[in-house]
Structure 1
Amino acid sequence: MVKRFKVWTYREGEPPFVHEGPIKSIYGIEGYFIQEIQRGNTSFSAAHPDEAHVFFLPISVGNIVSHLYNPLVTYARDQLITTVTNYTDLITHKHPFWNRTNGADHLLLSCHDWAPEISTKNPDKQLYRNIIRALCNANKSEGFNPSRDVSIPEINLRYSESSNPRNGQHPQNRSILAFFAGGIHGSIRKTLIETWKGKDKQLQVYEYLPPNIKYLELMERSKFCLCPSGFEVASPRTVEAIYAGCIPVIIADDYEPPFSDILDWSKFSLHIPSEKISELKVVLQSVEEGEYLRMHRRVLQVQRHFEVNRPSKAYDVFHMILHSVWLRRINISIRS
């Protein structure tokens, strides 16, 4: 893939909706990917569209929402859908590439919760039926198709530089069985907090941390880090846990974890359905010490696949996203 795969980025459009994206916050993966693929010094950037295997629509759903929407006025998605559709119409009328595959070799990437609605609620239901969607909101109950779509990690980029693992404490020094801190966003978190908040010293669940306690330090002292869904299925805590050398406990329904084509998540994480939140402690205590140590070692092994590097490096998150896209692209036939 590294030697062959080429991505052409359409030049049409103007910032901030196109060619730029947020580079900080939980939507920062959008801006990071756009920057890297447009940087020009990556081997994946096609010099000419004729050599491309995939055509990237450099649209930022995060920027569109932040510039066009006032949450106090409306949550209607009409402006978002219209903006993306108009850009796609421009592409399809100006270039021949979309029509060769009905968009099947085209890529749209976004970490914003609203991104799936571009294709599912577009008035032209068939327009995006084939496009490769790289999404953080990888909810199979809402139309995410693992054979066509790519699940990407939600990473809370606090800085514009790289984002790398810290590893945390040695397993023998991790005195906390499990940890979570976060607001009540969605029914799963509500149940988790109502069931476990302040109930058990080994299972430390907070809604808001006291001012003298540091979030990342608790992660680095915990064996397991609870990663419940919020309003949508993805959580930045999953990558934060991996960075801290803490085994992620994904509490979500119908969620497709990132890079599942390559990574066997059962080897370095636990996935607990929301209806078993009351059984959390029993499930975690049932993990034998030897198995826990193996899972911890594998967490450290997969860390490099979630690193954010500027410029990108082999096997990091940028390469993993492109590899997932490549796997879906190789089965697409091009019509001459």
Structure 2
Amino acid sequence: MLQDKLVRFLMGQKEWKRSGGKDHVIVAHHPNSLLDARNNLGSAILVLADFGRYPVELANVNKDIIAPYRHLVGTIPRAKSPSYNERPTLVYFQGAIYRKDGGAIRQELYYLLKDEKDVHFAFGSIGGNGINQASHGMSQSKFCLNIAGDTPSSNRLFDAIVSHCVPVIISDEIELPFEDVLDYSDFSIFVRASDAIKKGFLLNLLHSIKCEEWTKMWEILKDITHHFEYQYPSQPGDAVNMIWQDVAHKLSSVKSDLHRKNRYWRSQLLVKTD
């Protein structure tokens, strides 16, 4: 009922009618946000975590903004970030293992990796001491797996970033925040799902990345961590500031399109009155 009231209120406003909502910004970050209203509000710029539960005609990278999840683990201070040799675990993953749809790959990877040396792959949750365990585990690991779950992305990627644990992204449909500014391949490893489930492929790939190459990615992670911090008041370059920059960029394109469409409104009005 509340969502229905919201839709009727918005669509009744002259500001909405002026552009059909195209110059409005709606934060619908959680994948289930505005579940009933979203079909009516898709003309607006949506701030989303990913497009996993949206049809392409409703949400897409050309129109909308991908914003990071808020990380759950604490940010490691730059000066205290463990180096390559101070991280004894090669690969870390802790989270829900049995997922549906695109997340079924987690189960396959679990059976491939659970008994491998220097690999931590275990079930975990944010309950109890889960966040503290993940924070310690990521800070002691060279690589942290970000595997598709019920949706293409999760807060786990951003936990890895603030832990300066090189993310290994196994999620073919993922859309990433601020990718017009950041080249994730500078500080992350991308692996296709079809390759990741080949026996030996993932570990061979990660073992091939030696200290020097890993350290370059680690240094970049320390440089870009602030882009994923939500702060109030916002600071230059933090997540809030980066989102507003994206909004300004999207609105500029929207306004340009609207202005083009308005070029002949006076002459069209005259034709109608004649």
**TM-score (norm: length of structure 1):** 0.65
Query: 5 Å matches for 1:267-306?
Result: 267-278=186-197, 279-306=201-228
CA drift at 1:182: 1.2
Counterpart residue number, 1:155: 70
CA drift at 1:147: 1.0
**C-alpha distance in structure 2 between counterparts of 1:118 and 1:328, whole Å:** 25
Q: What is the aligned-residue RMSD (CA, Å)?
A: 2.6
Does the residue aligned with 1:332 lie in a helix, a strand or coil? helix
Unaligned runs of 5+ in 2: 263-274
1:258 to 164, 170, 177: 177
Deviates more, 1:228-237 or 1:186-195: 186-195
Percent identity over paired residues: 26
Counterpart residue number, 1:192: 109
Deviates more, 1:324-333 or 1:107-116: 107-116
Aligned pairs, how many? Answer: 243
CA drift at 1:194: 2.2
**Whose radius of gyration is greater, 1 or 2?**
2
Counterpart residue number, 2:118: 202
CA drift at 1:200: 0.9
| Per-residue deviation, residues 28-57 of structure 1 (Å, max 9, x unmatched) | xxxxxxxxxxxxxxxxxxxxxxxxxxxxxx
**C-alpha distance in structure 2 between counterparts of 1:285 and 1:119, whole Å:** 47
Q: Is the contact made by 1:137 and 1:151 (CA closer than 8 Å) also made in structure 2? A: yes
Query: 5 Å matches for 1:95-134?
Result: 95-115=13-33, 117-118=35-36, 122=39, 127-134=40-47
Counterpart residue number, 1:136: 49
| Per-residue deviation, residues 129-185 of structure 1 (Å, max 9, x unmatched) | 421111113339842411111111112458xxxx64445312331222111111224
Query: 5 Å matches for 1:54-93?
Result: 83-93=2-12
CA drift at 1:192: 2.0
**C-alpha distance in structure 1 between counterparts of 2:162 and 2:36, whole Å:** 32
Closer, same or farther: CA 132–85 of 1 in aligned 2, 3 Å: farther
**C-alpha distance in structure 2 between counterparts of 1:184 and 1:83, whole Å:** 35
CA drift at 1:101: 1.5
Closer, same or farther: CA 110–129 of 1 in aligned 2, 3 Å: closer
Unaligned runs of 5+ in 1: 1-81
Counterpart residue number, 2:268: none
Closer, same or farther: CA 287–105 of 1 in aligned 2, 3 Å: same
Q: Is the contact made by 1:225 and 1:246 (CA closer than 8 Å) also made in structure 2? A: yes
Closer, same or farther: CA 250–85 of 1 in aligned 2, 3 Å: farther
| Per-residue deviation, residues 222-265 of structure 1 (Å, max 9, x unmatched) | 11111112211111111111111111111112111111111111
**TM-score (norm: length of structure 2):** 0.79
Counterpart residue number, 1:176: 89
**C-alpha distance in structure 2 between counterparts of 1:200 and 1:189, whole Å:** 16
The amino acid across from 1:192 in the alignment is L
Q: Is the contact made by 1:138 and 1:257 (CA closer than 8 Å) also made in structure 2? A: no
Counterpart residue number, 2:251: 329
Does the residue aligned with 1:331 lie in a helix, a strand or coil? helix
Q: Is the contact made by 1:178 and 1:203 (CA closer than 8 Å) also made in structure 2? A: yes
Counterpart residue number, 2:272: none
More helix by share: 2
